[in-house]
C-alpha cells in the first residue's frame, strides 16, 4: 500500500492521540520521539510490503503460462506468493489465510 509521507505523519499523530488518551500507557520517552519512531516503523513496513508485492508479481510474470492480472488464477497465485513472502519475512499469515490452512488440514 502506498501512503504519502504526509499521510504517514498524520497517522502517527492519530496513533499518538490514542496512546495519550489511554490510561494504560506510561511514556518513558518524549512524545515527539515516539511519534517519529512510529513514522520510521510505518515507512519501513510499507517499503517491505512493496518489496513483497513486487516479488509476488515477479513470480507470477516469470511463469511459463501467461496469466492475466484480472483473472481468478492470478489472484490465487498472488495471495499464495505474497503469503510466502510474508512467512519468509517472519510475519504471520493473515487471519483468513490461517483459517483456510486449518480447514484444509481437517
**What's the confidence (pLDDT) of residue 59?**
95
Q: What does the domain layout of the chain look like in residue ranges?
A: 5-104
Structure confidence by residue, pLDDT tens digits, 53-97: 999 999 999 999 999 998 999 999 999 999 999 888 888 665 555
d(CA 94, CA 98): 6
Structure confidence by residue, pLDDT tens digits, 31-65: 999 999 999 999 999 999 999 999 999 999 999 99
The model's pTM is 0.71
Measured over all CA atoms, what is the biggest interatomic distance in the chain, rounded to whole angstroms?
57
List the grid coordinates of 89: 519475512
Amino acid at each position: 500500500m502506498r501512503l504519502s509521507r504526509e499521510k504517514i505523519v498524520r497517522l502517527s499523530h492519530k496513533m499518538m492521540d490514542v496512546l495519550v488518551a489511554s490510561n494504560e500507557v506510561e511514556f518513558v520517552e518524549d512524545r515527539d520521539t515516539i511519534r517519529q519512531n512510529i513514522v520510521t516503523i510505518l515507512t519501513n513496513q510499507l517499503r517491505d510490503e512493496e518489496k513483497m508485492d513486487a516479488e509476488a508479481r515477479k513470480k507470477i510474470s516469470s511463469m511459463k503460462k501467461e496469466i492475466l492480472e484480472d483473472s481468478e488464477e492470478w489472484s490465487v497465485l498472488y495471495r499464495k506468493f505474497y503469503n510466502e513472502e510474508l512467512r519468509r519475512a517472519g510475519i504471520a499469515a493473515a487471519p483468513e489465510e490461517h483459517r483456510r490452512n486449518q480447514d484444509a488440514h481437517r
